[in-house]
Amino acid sequence: MHQLAIRLLLSILILVTPNVFSHDGINHSLIGKSKADSQEQCVEPTEIMQKEHFVFLYHQRDKTVIKGVRTKNHSFANCIDCHVSYDEKGKAIPINSEGQFCQTCHVQTAVNIDCFSCHASVPRGRKSVAKITLENEHNFHITKLTNEIINHVGDYSGEK
């Protein structure tokens, strides 16, 4: 409870003084490069994202788990996919490790994040391919093919 109160206070503090901690114009990740680096703006204006990303995440979290909504914009997996950095060897650096996207701010604001005890901190595993039904052998073959393609595309875009 005690910790919770402190966190709450801190979050309020952060919310009312966004400029103190905002890092406009600074590259998102300190080490490595991410897809987000090449983007103009996140799914919402930066200022809103800084203040309210957890609201979006919480909202989407319940919609996804309970109602099966998998839209990309506020999806946690997508956040990581875009914001995770890759080192010069093309290897993804865990987003919650020191100096990385999530951790930089969360250390600064002393807000503990509990996401990565369960969620993968780098894009990992087979990607779900949108809209494929498996009706026959032909399609089955295509599933395999598409998965491979998507993986390659993923690799490619990761190495930008």
Partner 1 sequence: MKNKPTTSRRDFIVKSLTAISAVYFIPDIITKAESAKPLAQEVTSDTKWAMSIDVDKCAKGCTACVDACVEENGLYGFDRPETDSQWIRKLTIKNIKDDKIKVVPMLCQHCENPPCCDVCPTGASFRRVDGIVMVNQHTCIGCRYCMMACPFKARSFVHENLTEQVTNAPRGKGCVESCNFCANRIDHGISTTACEEACMKEGHNAISFGDLSDTKSRVNSALKKKDNRRLRSDLSLKQRVTYSGI
**Residue ranges binding partner 1 (CB under 8 A):** 61-72, 77, 80-81, 86, 88-92, 117-120, 122-135, 139-140, 142-143, 145-146, 148-156, 158-159
Residue 132 Cβ, how far from partner 1 at the closest point, in Å? 5
Distance CA 104, CA 149 (A): 34
Please say which residue, 22 or 78, places its beta carbon nearer to partner 1. 78
CA-nearest of 33, 47, 44, 22 to 104 is 22
Please say which residue, 40 or 135, places its beta carbon nearer to partner 1. 135
Distance CA 82, CA 2 (A): 35
Residue 40 Cβ, how far from partner 1 at the closest point, in Å? 23
Q: How many CA atoms are closer than 13 Å to the CA of 34, on its beta-carbon side?
A: 27
Please say which residue, 98 or 148, places its beta carbon nearer to partner 1. 148
Residue 82 Cβ, how far from partner 1 at the closest point, in Å? 13
CB atoms under 10 Å from CB of 75, counted, come to 19
